[in-house]
Structure 1
């Protein structure tokens, strides 16, 4: 059991690849305190659960031509990849979406979330951003599931069609400018989500719970890294 816990811990650390030394410097700022674990239903603890769609923006990216730079999981500079802080968030998402107790057993996810049974990310193969895929790759490895990369940026209508027919908890990692396009093709959503996703926010989960032919919308702050906001997007 100890080796299992150690393996899961290493998944988060390995998310930064050769950039791991820089992660140590990032950690000096400290992470936000872990939220209290919920006493959620058993359905949320396992791989099942209600029809829930969770959408996250990819993790932190370069803001210009200078530092912080994007780096691949091998530590090579790449402006289409995550920054060191972004890789830190990618690793931390394991604890958010696949929490474990001290013995390595599945623990209840935070209230409002569920352990995903499938994960979609924007396909970067045509030269697009690698960040959505990189953001959820460590989580997919921890869950032992494959990423669904059938859709690329610009194919939000087709993605939404697949999401409407999906069952169980589903997670999507996408570029923030195009999240509204996904929502627009989901069907009726109540209450109305924000019109746009602010460029400065990487720390929120949009949650859609199926209700009849539509969805109930809510937001869950991630609270994973220092500086994460406890407030939803207005």
Structure 2
């Protein structure tokens, strides 16, 4: 893992590590859940409609695309607050629980033994050779880049932020043109637009990503002319669900 030599960041990540056992936030009421589901379905449909409609190219042999939604975010104007990696309050950044998840993702995608050697990744996943996150400087959230930064650093990779929210078609084209395992951290309401541009996928992925789920990885594995789809629960923090998104 690449060592972070910034004292302020080390101190903050130490606080995040202590928060790993913090229980999951309580669920919303039934009415709120229905409203959120309706909102997310509409947002996903809009994102898919905005994507380029040109036919997708066939995936490169051996390609694996792993997609995660950014980690936990503020839920309103009160606590838990978003904070930068320097501990400054910021509504566009992850919460402490979100930063804790971002650090814990290293154990999924870039695990190491006690001696520092590369260790096997969990079943269903693979070690990425390319890591993408939505550009935080072009109208999107900072959270996808914050979520993927620790993984990219642990792998010795430069985080690719050349595509912004709204450029899901362009991102999909890049994913299709690149062989090998790739990881994408994105805003959940636009993930459906990425999926829509990748071609034939079996079984069909869920139509939208629920607002309350931060704890799953969507995995697409090239099968020749298309992709096989699966889901891997992260099971990193207290309260993470073992169930896939339905």
TM range (shorter): 0.7 to 0.9
Q: Could you tell me which residue of structure 2 aligns to residue 102 of structure 1?
A: 114
Rate the CA distance shift 1:112–1:27 in 2: closer, same or farther, 3 A.
Answer: closer
Q: Does 1:23 find its partner at 2:16?
A: yes
Q: TM-score, normalised by structure 2?
A: 0.79
The gaps in structure 2 that reach 5 residues or longer are 25-60
Q: Could you tell me which residue of structure 2 aligns to residue 88 of structure 1?
A: 100
Q: Does 1:152 find its partner at 2:145?
A: no
Which runs of structure 2 are paired with 1:192-231 in the superposition (5 Å)?
192-231=204-243
Which runs of structure 2 are paired with 1:111-150 in the superposition (5 Å)?
111-150=123-162
Choose 162-171 or 14-23, whichever is displaced more: 14-23
SS of the counterpart of 2:78?
coil
CA offsets, 1:31-64, max 9 Å, x none?
9xxxxxxxxxxxxxxxxx9310000000000000
CA offsets, 1:68-88, max 9 Å, x none?
000000111110000000000
Residue 210 of structure 1: how far off its partner (Å):
0.5
From 54, 61, 68, the equivalent of 2:73 is 61
CA RMSD of aligned residues (A): 2.3
Aligned length: 209
CA distance in 1, matches of 2:18, 2:111: 25
- Structure having greater relative contact order (Cα 8 Å, sep ≥ 6): 2
Residue 102 of structure 1: how far off its partner (Å):
2.4
CA distance in 2, matches of 1:66, 1:58: 20
CA offsets, 1:62-121, max 9 Å, x none?
000000000000111110000000000000011110111222111111111000000010
Q: TM-score, normalised by structure 1?
A: 0.83
**Conserved in 2, the CA contact under 8 Å of 1:17 and 1:74?**
no
Rate the CA distance shift 1:179–1:26 in 2: closer, same or farther, 3 A.
Answer: same
**Conserved in 2, the CA contact under 8 Å of 1:98 and 1:106?**
yes
CA distance in 2, matches of 1:58, 1:87: 10
**Conserved in 2, the CA contact under 8 Å of 1:18 and 1:73?**
no
